[in-house]
Each structure stands twice: as C-alpha cells, then as structure tokens.
Amino acid sequence: MLLIPCPYCGPRPELEFAYAGEAGIVRPANAAALDDDAWGAFLYQRSNPRGPHDERWRHLHGCARFFNARRDTVTDVFAATWKVGEAAP
C-alpha cells in the first residue's frame, strides 16, 4: 500500500485515496471543431510511461479534494504532489 502525501493533509495511506488518471488532459474548448482523430485522442490515448508520470489523485476519505502528483511508475515513489491550479514543480 502506498503512502501518499496529500498537499492539504500530509501523508496518508492509499486506502483514503482514489486514483483519477493522467494529469493535464484538458477537454478541448471547442469540441465540435475537432476532427475524429483529435477527439479520439483526447478521449482515449494516454502516455502510460515507464518512469515519471504526472497524475491526479483525490483524497476521497480525507479532505475529498483533487490534487496532482508525480510518481515513478517503476518504483511507485512519489517525487512531488501539488495543488490543483499550481504549476508543476
């Protein structure tokens, strides 16, 4: 089980959190103008890297807030977490 450093509450066990997928995927402002390739890519393509990964978590059973994290997907070590709206370190 991971120990996840919530930027609002501090380190808490993984069971308190919900994983919310890759970070930084922005819904296109004018979706109707997109072609099918771009819309399909937005919906379904993911980086899925072997190494550092920027991702979202939600501290569901704590402060209930979303935040961003950078975790290494080989070691599962968290390098950083930061609040929504803050710049990535």
Between 36 and 85, CB nearer to another protein: 36
Q: Which residues lie closer than 8 Å to 35 by C-beta, 6 or more apart?
A: none
Q: Which residues lie closer than 8 Å to 34 by C-beta, 6 or more apart?
A: 28, 42
Least distance between another protein and beta carbon 87 (Å): 23
DSSP-derived secondary structure letter, 27: P
Q: Which of residues 8, 28, 34, 46 is near another protein by CB under 8 A?
A: 46
Q: Which residues bind another protein (CB under 8 A)?
A: 1-2, 14-15, 18-19, 21, 36-37, 39-41, 43-50, 53, 55, 71, 73-76
